[in-house]
Structure 1
Amino acid sequence: MPKLANRQEKERLKETSLYRECLIEESNIDESSRTVELSFSSEAIVIRKGWFSSWREVLGHDEDNVDLTRINEMGVLLWNHRSDVPIGAIESAWHDKNDRKCRAKVCFDDDEESEKIFRKVVNNTLKGVSVGYRVTNWEIVDEGGTSTCGRFTGPCEIARKWEPLEISIVSVPADATVGVGRSLDEEGDNAMPKPNERADVVERVSPEDIDRVTRDERVRTAEILAMGQRFEMDLSEHIRSGDSVEMVRKIVMDKLAEERKAVTPAVVTLDEKEKFRAAAQDALCIRGGVKFESDLAPGAKELRSFSLRELAREALARAGESTKGDMMEMIGRALTTSDLPVILGNTANLSLMEGWENEEETWPVWVDDTGVVSDFKIHTAARVGELSELDEIPEGGEYRYGERAETFEQYQVAKFGKLFAVTREAIVNDDIAALTDIPRQMGESARRKLGDIAYTALTSNPKMGDGKTLFHLDHGNLMTAATISFTNFETTIEALGLAIAAMKGQKDVGGKQSLNIRPTFFIAPVALEATARRFFAQEQSPMTITLDTGASVAMGNGANPYAKDYFTLVFDPRLDDASANAWYLAARKGKSVRMYFLNGVKAPYLEQRYGWSVDGTEYKVRIEAGAKAVDWRGLVKNPGA
C-alpha cells in the first residue's frame, strides 16, 4: 500500500496555490464567437522544486478528484495570472474522464487589451495556457511503491482533492499534453502514462524543444508567485522583469522590515495573528540579546517572561488547537499547526543578520564587490585593452582606426552553507541560545567566509588568462624581496618606490602605452602592522631628525614621500597564514580583485523547514560567492625579506 501523506506533509502542501502550463492549439478556435476550447490539466508529471527538495507531482483525474464548482460559477480568464487583467469568461469547464483531462470553453472579451491577446492566440503567437489550482488532499507514493489507482509508480505525490481557481493565457508554454483541440486518442511521446509505468519515463511528456531556460523560468515564476501569496504581496512585476528568486526574496524581506519600522496604529492595523508574531519575535530577541533599531512591538514585554515551551503553548491556543497532552507531542503540534515556526524563523534570521553586519572585515576596503553571475558555471570575461594613442594628422591626411587588444579571465562562484536545528528538546529546556547565539555565529562565519575567498584570490597566486601566475616576473609585478622597516628607512623608501614605479609603468594589453596606474592600498600581514604604521606616520627619517635638522632637511634629504595619506593601509591575519613577510600594493577598486555573487545577493540567506532528520525545526544558512584577480597590472607583490 502507498504511504499516505503524514500531517506535516499535508500542512506543507495544503492550501498552496500552484500553477501548470500547457500549449494552445489553433484547431478549436472560433473567431466569430471569440471562443476557444482548450484542455487545461492532465495527469502529466510536473517536477516541483522547494527550498530543500524537489518532488514529482501528479494531478489526479479520477472522477472524484477534481472539484469544478468554483471555476464554473465564478471562473475568469486572465492574462499571466494577473487578477487585475481579466480578458474573458469561462463559459464551461468539464472533466473528460476517458482522456483524464479537464477541458474548458473560454470566451474572450472585446475590449482593446483582450482583443490584442486574442489576436495573438489566433495568429499562434501566444501558445501558452496555465491553470492556477489549490490542492487539499495528497497521496504520497514512496520510491518503488504503487499508487492506489495503480497507474503511477513512486516517488510521486498525487493530488486526490484539488480545485482549479482560474485559467490564464501565458507567454511561456510548457506541458504539451494538454491544450486546445488535443486528440482523445493521441499516441506517441505525449500519450498518457500506462499502469505501473515508471515516473522517470512519464517525464518524457515534456516537449524536447523546451530548453533549460524555459524550465528555469517556470520554476522561478512558481516560487515568486508562492512567495507573493505567502506574504500577501503582488510580485507579478518582478516576474515580468526577470528578477531572480533570491533578489525577490531580498526585496520582500526589505519591504517587511521597512513596514515594521514605518507601521503606526493610525496608518496600518495589524490583525491579531501579526501582532502576536511581532510581539513574540521581539520578546525572544530581548531574551537572546539581539539588538534591533525599531521600538518593541506591543505585548513584547509581557511575552519576554515566557519560556519557549510556554510560547509554544500560547501559539497553539491562539491557533485554536489543543494545548493538552504530552509536552513533546504538544510542541510537535505547535511546530506544524501554529505561528511558532514563523516566530522562530524570524528571530533566527534577525540573529543571523546581526552577526553578519557586526563582523568586521578588511576585504571590503580594497576589493570590488560588484560582480554578479546567474549560475555556478565557469564564466569567461574579456579584458579589452585601451585604444592606441591618437595619431598626428597632417593637412589633408587620413584618419586611421584605433586598435584594441584583449585578454580573457575566468571566474566562478561556489556555494557555502551549514545546517542547524532548534529541536523539541531545546524548546523544552528553554535553550534560547540555540535560536539566537548559533545563527548569530553563523552570520559571523558567513562574513568571514567572504574574507577567506577574497584573500585567497590574492595569496594563492592563481593562473591568469595568459597561463602565467598572477604575480610573475613576466607580468612586471613581482619585486625583489625587501622588508618594511622603520629603522632601515631609506631601504624601505627605495622598495616602495620600485613597487610604485612598476605599477605606474605597466603597459596596456597591446603592450604599447604606459598606463600610469597609481597604487591606492598598502596591504600587509598583521605581523608588519606596527612597523608599517610607524613608518607611514613618520614624515622624516629618524636619522635625519637626530643628526641633521638644518640644511639636510631643507634640501629634502630624509623626507618620507609616502607619509600620512599616500596609501590606505590594510592589515589582515589571513596574510600571516600565507607569509608573515610579504606585502602588496593594489590599485583602486575594480583594478585588482573582484568579488562575484550569485544573482547579486551579498548577504547570507536563511531557509527553514520542519525537521526530518531531527525532531524540531531545521535551518540552512547559505551564501554563494567567488573572487578573482581581474587584472595583474593593478597589483604588486614584494615577498619581503
Structure 2
Amino acid sequence: MPTPQTPAAAPVAGERRDLPLMGRSAEVGTVDRDARTVDLVWTTGARVQRYDWWNERYYLEELSLDPAHVRMGRLQSGTANLLNTHSSYDLSDVLGVVTAASLDGDQGRASVRFSQRDDVQPYFQDVVDGIIRNVSVGYRIYKMERIAPAVDGDPWIYRAIDWEPYELSLVPVPADPGATTRSAEQGRQQRTFACEFFDQSTPAAAGNPTRKEPNMPGENTTTQPAATTTAATQTAPVVDQRALDAAREEGARAEAERQTGIREAVRLGGLDGAFADQLIGERSMSAADAGMAVLREQARRSAANPTRSAADIQTTRDETDARRAAMGDAIVLRANPRAFNDAARMDAARQFRGMDLMDMARQAIELGGGNCRGLSKREIAVMALNLDRDMQVRGGMSSTSDFPEILGNTVGRSLRQAYQVQTRTFLPFCRPSTAPDFKQVARTQLSEASALQKVNEGGEYKAISFGDSAEKYSLGKYGGIVSITWESLINDDLSAFDRMPMAIAAEAAALEGDIVYGILTGNPNMADGVALFHATHANLAGSGAAISEAALSAGRAAMLKQKGLKNRVLNVKPSFLVVGPDKEFEANKFTSANFVAAKSVDINPVYNTSLEVIVDARITGNLWHLIAEPGLIDTIEYTYLEGEEGLFTEQRRGFEVDGLQIKARHVFAAKAIDWRGLYQNPGA
C-alpha cells in the first residue's frame, strides 16, 4: 500500500477530529451476465459540497487521486465486499466481492462479482435489467488539507490527501452529497475515525494543483480555478468571472428544466406536490428517471391502500407530532436515562442525541423559518419560548415556535408517568369513582336496598326501594405551577423534566393517602350523625387488644353479624388487615400461611391466612383495622373529576416569570360510604 505523501507547503495549523465513514455515488457500468461481474467507475475525485459543523460553513470536498494519496490495499485485496446500501451488520447484507480495483488517471475503477445465493439473485437481475443503476463508495479520510477561498464569497476547499476506500454498495438512490453519515437512520451507534486537518493559506500551497473534473451523477460540483505561486510569494488565483457566470447560468437553466420535468411527470401520475419536492431533493434524479419513480410510488401506495368494500377511516401520525414526541423523549432520557425502555421511542429520540436544550430551541426556531445566526443564547431562548413576537418576525420566523408545546407536553407526561408509579397502599380496599362536576355527591348505601318480593303467578313486580340515608361529599381541587424559564434553557437545567415532576407526583399520591387514611384515623361522622367507628355501628372493639387469633376472630364475628337497615344479615367477611409499622410483625405472624407452629393448635386458621396485610405509616401506634372487599360492600370511595383521573396539566406563556408556566391540577375526594365493611380495634 502506498505511503501518503505530505503536501509541499507546510500547513498553517493542524488538528485532529473524528469523522464518520463518508460516501459518494457512482453508476453501474458493463455487466457480464455469465460471469456475474459488473465493471464500474467508483470515483472521479470530483468536488462535493458538504458542511463543516465545527466551523459552521459549507465547503467543497475533493478526493485527491494521486496514487500516493489513496490507500488501495483494502479494495485491491480481493476480500472487500459489495454491500446492500452500506449495511454490514448481517451476513445477508453481503451481495458480492470486489475482485479488482485501480486508479486510472482521473478515475477510480473496480470490478465486482455477485454471489450466487438465491437471495442475491433479485439484486443481480435488477442490475442486469438496468433497474438498479446506482453504486456508492464508502471511504475513510486520514488527512485533509483546508484551502481558504481566494475570493470572498467563494467556498473553502477541503482536499483529502490521505484516504482509503472501504467498500462498495448498491443503493436505491444516490446519497445526499451533504450527508456525512450513513448509519444514523438505522438507529445504530455511528462509527467514527480520527482525521488530521491542515490549513493552507491558498489553494496553491497544497502542492497538488486543483483539477477541473466532470461532474458525476448525484454530486454537486464547483470548478475552482488553479492558483499560481512563486518561490517567494503566493498570489491570489486569476478568476475568469465571465466564464464563471456563464457556468452558473447554464447550471441554473439545467436545474430549472430538471425541476419542471419532474413536476410534470408527477402531475401526470396524479401524485401530490410533496412527492415532487422529494424527487427534486434527490440530486441524481433526472426528468427522464422521474417517470419510473412515479410508477414505483403509485405501486407502493396501491399496495399500502388496497381497495376496501366498506368505508374506512385511517388515522396517521403527522410528521410534526412524531418529531415533537421524539424531542420530548430525548429530553426525558437526558434527564433520566432509565425513564422508559421502549425501543421504538428510544430509536426515534436518538436523532436528538447530544443536543442540549439550547440546540433543540435553535432547531425549533429554524423549523419555524427563523435564522439563529448572530443571536445570543438569551435571544434564542426568548424566541423559542414565544416571549417576543416582534423578535421572531425580525428573525424571519413565519410562525411561532412549537418548543413551548414540546416542553409543556414533556413535563405533563413526566408528571403523569411519575404519578402512576407512586405507591398508594389504600387502592386495594377502596372503590374508585368519578364525578362530573364539583357539586355534592350523594352515595346511597347498598345495604339499605329493600328485600326482593315473591311474585305469584300472574302477579306484579314491585319496585325496589333504597333508604333515604346517603353519604354526601364533594370534590376538592389542589395544584401548583412549574416554571421553565429562559434561564433554565441557557443553563440546560433538566430538573423540570425529572426531579420536579417526581416530587409533584409524590406529593399528589401522598395527598390522596392523607385524605383516605385520615378517614380511618380521624373517625368522622356519618350521615346518621354517629362516628364512623362507634358501638352504635357495632364496628368498634369494646377494648383495645393486640393482634391475636382471638382478637381477629372477634373482629371477624362482629363484621359477619352486621345487618342492613332492613334488619337483613349481611355476612360481611374481612379481606384486609390494615396496620401501621408498629404492628406489622404481629399482623404477619397471625396471618401468614408460612408460620411454623410448635404445636398444631397454634397453626394459623385458614380464615386468618386469607387476610391481606396492608401497612401504612399513617396508621400510628397500636391501631388496626379489618376491611371488607370493596366489590362486596361499600367501604371507602375515592373520586376524581370525570376526564381528569389523576394529575392534569395545562400550560401558558409566563407573565410572572420569563418563560413557560405549567400548572399541575389534582381534583380528588374520598368518603366512607358504609361502616358495615369497616372494623377498628384501638390495639394494645
User: Is the Cα contact below 8 Å between 1:358 and 1:444 reproduced in 2?
Assistant: no
2:545 aligned with 1:496, yes or no? Answer: no
Give the CA deviation at 1:460: 1.5
Moved more, 439-448 or 289-298: 289-298
Aligned residue for 1:327? Answer: 377
User: Is the Cα contact below 8 Å between 1:278 and 1:297 reproduced in 2?
Assistant: no
CA–CA distance in structure 1, aligned partners of residues 551 and 423 of structure 2: 31
Give the CA deviation at 1:400: 9.5
User: Is the Cα contact below 8 Å between 1:416 and 1:622 reproduced in 2?
Assistant: yes
2:676 aligned with 1:613, yes or no? Answer: no
- AA aligned opposite 1:456: G
Question: Judging changes above 3 Å, is the alpha-carbon distance between structure 1 residues 402 and 408 closer, same or farther for their aligned structure 2 residues?
Answer: closer
From 549, 571, 574, the equivalent of 2:618 is 574
Show CA shifts across 1:16-49 (max 9, x none).
xxxxxxxxxxxxxxxxxxxxxxxxxxxxxxxxxx
Aligned residue for 1:361? Answer: 424
CA–CA distance in structure 1, aligned partners of residues 540 and 683 of structure 2: 11
User: Is the Cα contact below 8 Å between 2:357 and 2:489 reproduced in 1?
Assistant: yes
- AA aligned opposite 1:617: L
Q: What secondary structure is seen at the aligned counterpart in 1 of 2:572?
A: coil
Give the CA deviation at 1:409: 1.0
CA–CA distance in structure 2, aligned partners of residues 431 and 349 of structure 1: 17
From 475, 485, 488, the equivalent of 1:423 is 485
2:393 aligned with 1:346, yes or no? Answer: no
2:472 aligned with 1:472, yes or no? Answer: no
From 583, 595, 609, the equivalent of 2:624 is 583
Percent same amino acid at aligned positions?
Answer: 32
User: Is the Cα contact below 8 Å between 1:375 and 1:598 reproduced in 2?
Assistant: yes
Question: Judging changes above 3 Å, is the alpha-carbon distance between structure 1 residues 397 and 338 closer, same or farther for their aligned structure 2 residues?
Answer: closer
Aligned residue for 2:355? Answer: 306
- AA aligned opposite 2:649: L
Q: What secondary structure is seen at the aligned counterpart in 2 of 1:296?
A: helix
CA–CA distance in structure 2, aligned partners of residues 343 and 306 of structure 1: 15
CA–CA distance in structure 2, aligned partners of residues 568 and 418 of structure 1: 36
Question: Judging changes above 3 Å, is the alpha-carbon distance between structure 1 residues 271 and 367 closer, same or farther for their aligned structure 2 residues?
Answer: closer
CA–CA distance in structure 1, aligned partners of residues 565 and 515 of structure 2: 27
Aligned residue for 1:284? Answer: 331
- AA aligned opposite 1:428: I
Question: How many pairs are equivalent?
Answer: 354
Structure with higher Rg: it is 2
Q: For 1:432-447, list aligned pairs within 5 A.
A: 432-447=494-509
Show CA shifts across 1:567-613 (max 9, x none).
1211111112xxx2110011111521011111153221111111111
Structure 1 alignment gaps of length 5 or more: 1-264, 486-491
- AA aligned opposite 2:323: F
From 639, 654, 660, the equivalent of 1:596 is 639
CA–CA distance in structure 1, aligned partners of residues 643 and 318 of structure 2: 35
User: Is the Cα contact below 8 Å between 1:288 and 1:436 reproduced in 2?
Assistant: yes
CA–CA distance in structure 2, aligned partners of residues 581 and 321 of structure 1: 66
Show CA shifts across 1:1-21 (max 9, x none).
xxxxxxxxxxxxxxxxxxxxx
Moved more, 609-618 or 585-594: 585-594
Q: For 1:267-278, list aligned pairs within 5 A.
A: 273-278=320-325
CA–CA distance in structure 2, aligned partners of residues 567 and 593 of structure 1: 18
Q: What secondary structure is seen at the aligned counterpart in 1 of 2:379?
A: helix
Higher relative CO (CA 8 A, sep ≥ 6), structure 1 or 2? 1
Give the CA deviation at 1:350: 2.5
From 667, 673, 679, the equivalent of 1:624 is 667
CA–CA distance in structure 2, aligned partners of residues 538 and 565 of structure 1: 6
User: Is the Cα contact below 8 Å between 1:388 and 1:404 reproduced in 2?
Assistant: no
Give the CA deviation at 1:296: 3.1
Give the CA deviation at 1:625: 1.0
Show CA shifts across 1:409-462 (max 9, x none).
111110111111111111100011223321232223222222222212222211
Aligned residue for 1:508? Answer: 564
Question: Judging changes above 3 Å, is the alpha-carbon distance between structure 1 residues 561 and 468 closer, same or farther for their aligned structure 2 residues?
Answer: same
- AA aligned opposite 2:380: M
CA–CA distance in structure 1, aligned partners of residues 500 and 509 of structure 2: 14
Question: Judging changes above 3 Å, is the alpha-carbon distance between structure 1 residues 424 and 600 closer, same or farther for their aligned structure 2 residues?
Answer: closer
Q: For 1:31-70, list aligned pairs within 5 A.
A: none
Aligned residue for 2:471? Answer: 409
Question: Judging changes above 3 Å, is the alpha-carbon distance between structure 1 residues 469 and 541 closer, same or farther for their aligned structure 2 residues?
Answer: farther
Aligned residue for 1:257? Answer: none
CA–CA distance in structure 2, aligned partners of residues 402 and 378 of structure 1: 25
User: Is the Cα contact below 8 Å between 1:291 and 1:354 reproduced in 2?
Assistant: no
CA–CA distance in structure 2, aligned partners of residues 606 and 502 of structure 1: 45
Structure 2 alignment gaps of length 5 or more: 1-303, 306-313, 387-399
2:361 aligned with 1:318, yes or no? Answer: no
CA–CA distance in structure 1, aligned partners of residues 443 and 607 of structure 2: 37
User: Is the Cα contact below 8 Å between 1:481 and 1:638 reproduced in 2?
Assistant: yes
User: Is the Cα contact below 8 Å between 1:275 and 1:298 reproduced in 2?
Assistant: no
